[in-house]
């Protein structure tokens, strides 16, 4: 199935990608971000914050945005 992934990490990009049916938000995060901690990102599906076990649907719009920019002080 095809979904729109908006990755705001680093330079950022937006692109339609193909994912398998039954893919969860957590699965997609592991495939695309990998080493990052989920707690350091705001993940939204169709503009709403979601849990990691949310299953993706055809046409979903997923955005992954870091909550802290590297090098910034807290």
* pLDDT tens-digit readout, 43-71: 999 999 999 899 999 999 999 988 876 66
- Per the listing, tokens 């090098």 go with 71
Is 27 inside any structural domain? Answer: yes
Domain count, the chain: 1
Q: Which domain holds residue 56?
A: 2-66
Q: Domain of 7: which CATH number? A: 3.10.20.30
Q: How confident is the model at residue 38 (pLDDT cuts 50, 70, 90)?
A: confident
**Residue 71 falls within a domain, yes or no?**
no
Residues 6+ apart with CB under 8 A from 21: 1
Residue 59 is assigned to a structural domain of this protein = yes
Structural domain includes residue 74: no
Q: Give yes or no for a contact between 53 and 25, defined as CB atoms under 8 angstroms apart.
A: yes
**pTM for the whole structure:** 0.81
Residues 6 or more apart whose CB falls under 8 angstroms from that of 58 comprise: 1, 2, 3
User: Is 57 among the domain residues?
Assistant: yes
**Cα angle, residue 15 at apex, residues 28 and 23 outer, rounded to 5°:** 20
């Amino acid at each position: 199935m095809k979904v729109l992934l908006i990755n705001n990490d680093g330079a950022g990009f937006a692109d339609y990608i193909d994912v398998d049916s039954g893919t969860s938000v957590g699965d997609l995060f592991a495939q695309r971000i990998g080493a990052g901690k989920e707690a350091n990102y705001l993940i939204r599906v169709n503009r709403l914050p979601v849990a990691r076990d949310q299953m993706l649907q055809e046409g979903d719009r997923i955005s992954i945005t870091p909550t802290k920019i590297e090098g910034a002080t807290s």
